Amino acid sequence: MTIMERNDAVAVSCRGVTKVFGSGDTKVMALRGVDLDIYLGELLMLVGPSGCGKTTLISVIAGILNLDGGSCSLFGRDLSGFTKDSLTAFRRVNIGFVFQTFNLIPTLSVVENISIPLLINGKSQEQAAAGAVEYLVQVGLKGREESLPSQLSGGQQQRVAIARALVHEPKLIVCDEPTSALDHQTGELVMGILKEIAVRSDRALVIVTHDARTFKFADCIAYMDDGHIVKLERPNKM
């Protein structure tokens, strides 16, 4: 496996980010002044106990949730400077998502599922299908183009979801517990694919995970607790 060198370009920069849910007696401070930089060429893992703010943080970074305080910029653009429509357009081009539950459309074939981001971004059906097939090969599923999700194993479905997240060449890939529903061997395979084809010098990858077995794939591990980043580790690479 090729190990990418992190460069000095910052993909994501968060400063003093806060997020509050509810009010009064039900008020919950999900994020309490988060400072975090994610660099291009880097696979960063967000780890910590359930409820510590990991999924909230990646939702803010991806522009799905609005922050309540502080600032967050993606590729030099402050998220607060976007309108709702311009943020949607920016996210559509620049961000890819991989989820624990795959979120494949059951009535569409593998190729049709992977093609969706390209079609949304204005590619023709022929261009989208060609791009989908290319990424299907990269995740090791050549020959399953016309299969339905129900005809695939969980690990194969996750690989299709990875191909869908990458097919439009986003600069940031956001993954929420991508291996938690998989056995150890399949999880290792999925992480290897993510590391191999998602981490490039012009791209960054952030993964929320509870799976300590995957930590060895990280370039940086950000530990969260009670809405804070409490520690950063950059494991030595051989």
Concatenate the DSSP letters of all residues of the chain into one string.
-PPPPP-S-EEEEEEEEEEEES-GGG-EEEEEEEEEEEETT-EEEEE-STTSSHHHHHHHHTTSS--SEEEEEETTEEGGG--HHHHHHHHHHHEEEEETT----TTS-HHHHHHHHHHHTT--HHHHHHHHHHHHHHTT-TT-TT--GGGS-HHHHHHHHHHHHHTT--SEEEEESTTTTS-HHHHHHHHHHHHHHH--TT-EEEEE---GGGGGG-SEEEEEETTEEEEEE-----
Per-residue pLDDT tens digits for 113-139: 999 999 999 999 999 999 999 999 999
Q: Which CATH number belongs to the domain containing residue 15 in this structure?
A: 3.40.50.300
Q: Is residue 96 included in any domain, yes or no?
A: yes
Per-residue pLDDT tens digits for 63-120: 999 999 999 999 999 999 999 999 999 999 999 999 888 899 999 999 999 999 999 9
Q: Is residue 167 included in any domain, yes or no?
A: yes
Q: Is residue 97 included in any domain, yes or no?
A: yes
Residue 149 clears pLDDT 70, i.e. is over it: yes
Rounded Cα gap, residues 172 and 38, in angstroms: 10
pLDDT of 118: 96
pLDDT of 3: 39
Enter the tokens of residue 233: 């580790």
Instruction: Tell me the percentage of the chain whose pLDDT exceeds 90.
Output: 73
Q: Is residue 3 included in any domain, yes or no?
A: no
Short-list 151, 110, 152, CA closest to 134: 110
Enter the tokens of residue 125: 């059906």
Rounded Cα gap, residues 125 and 210, in angstroms: 38
User: What's the domain range around 189?
Assistant: 10-233
Total domains in the chain come to 1
Residue 237 clears pLDDT 60, i.e. is over it: no
Q: Is residue 238 included in any domain, yes or no?
A: no
Q: Pick 27 or 100 by higher pLDDT.
A: 27
Q: Is residue 1 included in any domain, yes or no?
A: no
pTM of the model: 0.88
Residue 22 has φ and ψ, to the nearest 5°, of 75, -175
Q: Is residue 2 included in any domain, yes or no?
A: no
Residue 231 clears pLDDT 50, i.e. is over it: yes
Residue 34 clears pLDDT 50, i.e. is over it: yes
